[in-house]
Structure 1
Amino acid sequence: MAQASQRLPAVAGLFYPADPHSLHAQISGYLAGAMPAEVVHSPKAIIVPHAGYIYSGAVAASAYAELVLRRDVIRRVLILCPTHRVAVRGMAVPAAQSFVTPLGAVAIDRAAWLAARELPGVLVDDRPHAEEHAIEVQLPFLQSTLDHFEILPIAVGQVDPKLVAQLLETLWGGPETLIVISSDLSHYHPYRQAQWRDKATIAMIAQLDPHLDGEQACGAGAINGLLIAAQRHHLAPHLLDLRNSGDTAGDRDRVVGYASLAFAEDRNHAQH
């Protein structure tokens, strides 16, 4: 029975090293090399890519590097991702009580899980999570940058972004709660076209425009929910890194776009 309560790694050795020492060394290297476009103080939410680390690990690191100063503050992480393998109507939280990576197990926040389960559009289902990489690849970064934290993994399927925003609103919390949206940008366009498309997507995010579609970002449903909540909470997005697989480890004929963004309270609004 103990085994059933754990969600075991599905993409260790594929998307990232299965050996804990190699994994730790790779993430440490990415974090050490992270040079974000700007330093964001106390981000409430981040958007990070979820490809194999050789493709998008360095881009993701520019957001995770922002968390190190708050490693003893953040205690709960809501992680939202699209569903790549199992279609979901609504949002699925797992029945599993922990997610395991080569760096150890991360517990599910029970109070957040119980609260989420009661919300409209939320179902409890392990199946969308079993083979899904988009949350799993974020966990070793969180394990490397935070001290003691629990998670609520949420697989976002076909759902009204307002319901995603309602879930975020319900679990918003204070400085102890971080929101992570796992999403890549455009898929399989030629390099220059992808750059143009992804810049247009970032411009929409900068305007907090919650009308992204799946062609712009695979995690559009989760991002749109965050953008609605960000409007209410006067959060401003900050672009930390924007690249694609043609910049990192792939050819330039068919690329996938990656961005890291951090959302923090708008200083201008805070002063009024």
Structure 2
Amino acid sequence: MRNTLYIYLASLLMNALFLSIRAEDIHPCSGAGFWFPAGKQELSAAIDGYLNEAKKKETAGSPIALISPHAGYKNAAPVMAAAYRQLEGHSYKRVIILAFSHSLSGFGKISLLPVEGYETPLGTVPIDKKMAEELLSHSDVFISAPAIHMREHSDENQIPFLQKTVKDFKMVSLLVDSLNKETMNKAVDILYPYMDKDTLFVASTDLTHYGFAYDYSPFEGLKGKELAAKIHKLDKDALEIMASADADGFREYINRTGATICGRNPVELLLRILKKQGGAKGEILQYYTSADKSGDYAHLTVGYGAVIFTAPAQSEEPKPKNEEEKKMDTEVKPKIEKTDEEPDPPILTETEQQTLLRLSRDYLHEIVKDRKFKPDISKYDLTPSLKQKSRLFVTLTKDGELRGCIGHVEAIAPIYEAVMDNTYSAAFRDPRFPPVEAAEVPRIRIEISINTPQRRLKDINDIIVGKHGLIIEKGWNRGLLLPQVPVEQGWNREQFLEGICRKAGLPRGAWKEKDTILYYYSSQVFHEK
């Protein structure tokens, strides 16, 4: 009887929450006087002050997306202003806020309100009703659950800053729950077409919530500067992954660290949309924690960071190609057009290999002193082969031990650019290691692996240890091992399969399961002597 009553009450709750409810025409402001000032003039003056103190940075293109915190303005507004100040001189007809519910999770979809507008002390922002209706037509992804929007501040706290910077715009606010892979992919496909020159995306999140109050204290026992350094590194690693628009890397970081980043779901959705869009450049604008002034990191600390993503203006004309690039086009394109399968990368000569190793070494030597260093590419003999796009990994070892290994699993950049990108990432972004320091560089050996496209593995007996690398996918878990790894570890074929499972955070025997997908590839590997 009691179980029946519980089921009945739960059913009433779900009906109240998720069935189509007639929402009010204007979504009322609930945070005025708590998260930010309640008076129009007071709020306007406060935001003006924050924006005036923020620095406007020169960017290579037009802002298409921001990641901004949403805590109370007394804590987070300077970081928010660092993001919104970058919108100066740009206009948008629509803003899509990717936020989340603090009050309810586990419904596995994205909720929005088809109301007329959102109210703040600065006025009412109209909703893009057409877009809202289009989204709600995809009922397997989007729903309207008014109850979870009632007192939500992860979206509301962004709106006054938008009113002061973008000014005349329509908006859609989306509360993004944890999505399974299928729903996430559908959401990306649905939202991606809205990413245009007239639309700004804003993902709302604070960073690590550290301390007993948040049930997250992985550095228990550390105090003062040592604890601060650990928390700062945890957050800055997350920000660097976000700025690189690495959605898979961000999910792996959350799974590995357990970091209490409250807006991880909207951030992941934004990163996946940016990846599909391609070409966006991310930059970290500002970061600090709530405890940086008080020094009391152990009990209650929240991190706040801002990231901007820019894309080249759509009106920009492509740069004219020189004769060498034109020749390269005629050499490469027929090869691709003649086959349904992506071709293997070029086999590099000894001279070309040495050029890449010298580029990587020179770049590493400089970036440990200045991370913004830009090399003079004209000093290197960049043949047509080195300008072809390829999958590529850079591995750093120190005294024979792994010091960093990062790469591109897709052919997204010319070989020489990928070498620089992954030299930087292996030195500073491998989450397993602290950043490389200048004193270590003489003891580091550089190895470059240029990989063929991955092919679906149909029979494990086709794996040749020492020749093939492996990629595994199972649900959200994904892992990659280079061909040289099983040789270095002394593994046979089965141990190699178990090793790739462990790399992806899966049980050793997961490769045998029906929903596990395996790919293989080969590599051209060369390293410093």
TM over 0.5: yes
Deviation track 1:98-128 (CA, whole Å, cap 9, x = no partner) reads 1100001111101110111123411012112
Is 2:263 aligned against 1:219? yes
Q: Paired residue for 2:179?
A: 159
Is 2:93 aligned against 1:93? no
Deviation track 1:232-272 (CA, whole Å, cap 9, x = no partner) reads 222121111111112368843321111111111269xx769
Are the structure 2 counterparts of residues 98 and 250 from structure 1 closer, same or farther at C-alpha, using a change threshold of 3 Å?
A: farther
Give unmatched runs, 5+ long, in structure 1. none
Percent identical across equivalent pairs? 29
Deviation track 1:149-206 (CA, whole Å, cap 9, x = no partner) reads 010000001213324422321322x211100001111102453332111011122223
Q: Paired residue for 1:209?
A: 246
Q: Paired residue for 2:303?
A: 257
Are the structure 2 counterparts of residues 89 and 40 from structure 1 closer, same or farther at C-alpha, using a change threshold of 3 Å?
A: same
Contact 1:37/1:241 (<8 A) preserved: no
Please give the secondary structure, in 2, of the residue aligned with 1:86. coil
Q: Map of 1:96-135 to 2, 5 A cutoff?
A: 96-119=115-138, 120-135=140-155
Are the structure 2 counterparts of residues 205 and 130 from structure 1 closer, same or farther at C-alpha, using a change threshold of 3 Å?
A: same
- CA separation in 1, counterparts of 2:45 and 2:295? 22
Deviation track 1:17-62 (CA, whole Å, cap 9, x = no partner) reads 0011110111000000002565464110000000000110000101
Single out whichever of 116-125 and 210-219 deviates more from structure 2: 210-219
Are the structure 2 counterparts of residues 261 and 75 from structure 1 closer, same or farther at C-alpha, using a change threshold of 3 Å?
A: same
Which amino acid in the other structure matches residue 31 of structure 1? L
- CA separation in 1, counterparts of 2:287 and 2:56? 10
- CA separation in 2, counterparts of 1:40 and 1:50? 27
Q: Paired residue for 1:237?
A: 282
Deviation track 1:77-100 (CA, whole Å, cap 9, x = no partner) reads 000112111223200011322110
Q: 1:187 aligns with which of 209, 233, 238?
A: 209
Are the structure 2 counterparts of residues 224 and 134 from structure 1 closer, same or farther at C-alpha, using a change threshold of 3 Å?
A: same
Is 2:236 aligned against 1:199? yes
Q: Paired residue for 1:56?
A: 76
Which amino acid in the other structure matches residue 84 of structure 1? H
- CA separation in 1, counterparts of 2:31 and 2:237? 31
Contact 2:245/2:274 (<8 A) preserved: yes
Q: Paired residue for 1:83?
A: 101
Q: CA RMSD in A?
A: 2.3
- CA separation in 1, counterparts of 2:145 and 2:23? 16
How big is the shift at 1:231?
A: 1.7
- CA separation in 2, counterparts of 1:249 and 1:65? 27
TM-score of the two chains, using structure 2 as the length reference: 0.47
How big is the shift at 1:209?
A: 2.0
How big is the shift at 1:11?
A: 1.1
Q: Paired residue for 2:85?
A: 65
- CA separation in 2, counterparts of 1:40 and 1:131? 38
- CA separation in 1, counterparts of 2:121 and 2:158? 13
Larger Rg: 2
Give unmatched runs, 5+ long, in structure 2. 1-21, 212-226, 322-529
- CA separation in 1, counterparts of 2:270 and 2:294? 30
Which amino acid in the other structure matches residue 13 of structure 1? G
Deviation track 1:117-152 (CA, whole Å, cap 9, x = no partner) reads 123411012112111001100010001012310100
Which amino acid in the other structure matches residue 170 of structure 1? P
Please give the secondary structure, in 2, of the residue aligned with 1:247. coil
Please give the secondary structure, in 2, of the residue aligned with 1:15. coil
Higher relative contact order (Cα pairs below 8 Å, separated by 6+ residues)? 1
How big is the shift at 1:230?
A: 1.3
Single out whichever of 249-258 and 12-21 deviates more from structure 2: 249-258
Please give the secondary structure, in 1, of the residue aligned with 2:229. helix
Are the structure 2 counterparts of residues 19 and 236 from structure 1 closer, same or farther at C-alpha, using a change threshold of 3 Å?
A: same
- CA separation in 1, counterparts of 2:284 and 2:175? 24
Q: Paired residue for 1:247?
A: 292
- CA separation in 2, counterparts of 1:30 and 1:133? 19
Single out whichever of 4-13 and 87-96 deviates more from structure 2: 87-96
Please give the secondary structure, in 1, of the residue aligned with 2:292. helix
Contact 1:164/1:222 (<8 A) preserved: no
Are the structure 2 counterparts of residues 251 and 232 from structure 1 closer, same or farther at C-alpha, using a change threshold of 3 Å?
A: same
Single out whichever of 3-12 and 15-24 deviates more from structure 2: 3-12
Single out whichever of 21-30 and 34-43 deviates more from structure 2: 34-43
Are the structure 2 counterparts of residues 203 and 147 from structure 1 closer, same or farther at C-alpha, using a change threshold of 3 Å?
A: closer
Which amino acid in the other structure matches residue 231 of structure 2? A
